[in-house]
Amino acid sequence: MIGTDTIEKPKRTRRKTTYKGAANKETSGLVPRTAKQKDFIDALSSSNQVFVLGPAGTGKTYVTASYASDLYATKQIDKIVITRPHVAVGKELGFLKGDLAEKTMPWALPVLDVLEKHLGKGTVETGIKNGNIEMAPLALMRGRSFDNAFIIVDETQNITTHELKMLLTRVGEGSTIVLNGDVQQSDLKEADGLSKVIHLAKKYMVPVPVVEFGVEDIVRSDICAQWVKVFMKEGL
C-alpha cells in the first residue's frame, strides 16, 4: 500500500499568475471531513501532480473539484479540464446524440455537480461555452497541451500505461493534474496503468504524492460504506 509519505512532495514552482502555492494561497475554506481528506488537501496545496486512490464515497472527486473551483473563482487558473477514459457501459460515445460537449456531459456530471455547487450553474455553463471548463475525452487528448489549467482525471484505474504516458505529457506550464482512481475497480483487465505508473514514480523517485483512502474514510453514507465493504470482501 502506498501512503502520502511514500514519495517526497515537491515545493510548488512559482507561477507567473497569481497562484502562490501552499505558503500563502488564500482558499474559500474547504474543510476536510476526515484526516485523509486533510492529507489530500495538503497534497493539492504543495504539489502540481497528485494521485488519489480509494473506494467510492471517500470524497476524492468532491475535494478535487472543490479545490479546482476555488482556484478558478479566484482566477488563479485559466481553465478546468475534466477527462476520463471512455469505457463503454451501454452505447458507444459515437452513437450518442449531440455535439461533443453534450456527449461527454453524462460522465462529467460528478465533477460538474460540485463545480456548480461552488461556482453557480451560470458560471459553469458560461465556462463550458467559452471553453474555460472543458470535458475532454481521453482519446482526443493526444497532441494537446494545457497551460495554467487544473486537469481532473477521473476513473484512472481504467487507463492503460500507454494512455497515462500520453496524458501526463500533456501537462503544460502552471498546470496541476489530479489522477483519481480505485485500483480495485478496473473495468478493463488490461488497464493496469495506474498501478504501473505509481510503481514507476516510486522507483524513479518522481516527486508526486500518492494519497490513499480506505473504507474507514467513506463519508457519503452508512449504506455506501456497508456495500463497499461487502463488495470488497467478495472481490467485486
- When the pLDDT of each residue in the chain is averaged and rounded to a whole number, the result is 82
Confidence label for 27 from pLDDT (cuts 50, 70 and 90) = low
- Give the CA angle between residues 52, 85, 37 to the nearest 5°: 15
Cα separation, 191 vs 131, whole angstroms:
30
pLDDT value at residue 221: 87
The whole-number average pLDDT for the span 126-142 is: 90
* Each residue's pLDDT tens digit, 143-185: 889 999 999 999 898 888 999 999 999 899 999 999 999 877 7
Q: 35-185+194-221: CATH homologous superfamily? A: P-loop containing nucleotide triphosphate hydrolases (3.40.50.300)
pLDDT value at residue 134: 94
Confidence label for 71 from pLDDT (cuts 50, 70 and 90) = very high
Cα separation, 201 vs 18, whole angstroms:
29
Spans of all domains in the chain? 35-185+194-221
Please give the DSSP secondary-structure letter assigned to residue 5: T
pLDDT value at residue 18: 34
Q: Output b/e per residue, 140-171; b: 16+ Cβ within 10 A.
A: ebeeeebebbbbbbbbbbbbbbebbebbbebb
- Grid coordinates belonging to 235: 472481490
The whole-number average pLDDT for the span 118-124 is: 96
**Helical segments of 29-160, H only:** 35-46, 60-73, 100-119, 121-130
Residue 142 above 50 pLDDT? yes
- Contacts with 26 (C-beta within 8 Å, 6 or more apart), sequence order: 74
- Grid coordinates belonging to 118: 461552488
**Helical segments of the chain, H only:** 35-46, 60-73, 100-119, 121-130, 161-168, 193-203, 222-233
Going by C-alpha positions, the residue among 186, 170, 174 that lies closest to residue 138 is: 170
Between 236 and 92, the higher pLDDT residue: 236
pLDDT value at residue 102: 63
Residue 89 above 50 pLDDT? no
Kindly report the number of other CB atoms within 10 A of residue 16's CB atom: 8
Which of 24-33, 79-88, 125-134 ranks highest by mean pLDDT?
A: 125-134
pLDDT above 70 covers a percentage of the chain that reads 78
